[in-house]
Structure 1
Amino acid sequence: EEAEEEEEQARKKESAVDREDVALREMTIPTAREAQELAKAKATEKEEQLCKLSRALAVLASAS
């Protein structure tokens, strides 16, 4: 009987760990997606800034 109880407790612990792993994965996926979107937005913003600088340099070069 004691062995059965220990086995049952071990199964419960494994089940809890599995649920935690699933929950962690579900939390990580959106976070990774958000990080990717943020990185893409930052890259786009930097590209826009470079375009503005390039245009400004072209104007300065043509003025001199």
Structure 2
Amino acid sequence: AFLIFLIKIDHDVCSNYGNWVYVAGVGNDPRENRHFNMIKQAFDYDFSGEFVRAWCPELARLPN
């Protein structure tokens, strides 16, 4: 958490800590069985795979 504090320009302790706890799945959540679904996120936000190919060179040659 301290490294993030040093790196981020708009660091807010409460907001960032809450988001990291949520993403890690260790915080309190009123809804049960809520998990981050990477496949769904990929289809919703990077359907063509452009972002993944840009940041994962190993996958750059895969077809759409």
Mark yes or no: TM-score above 0.5: no
Q: TM-score, normalised by structure 1?
A: 0.23
Tell me which protein shows more helix as a share of its residues. Answer: 1
Higher relative contact order, chain-length normalized (CA < 8 Å, sep 6+): 2
Q: TM-score, normalised by structure 2?
A: 0.23
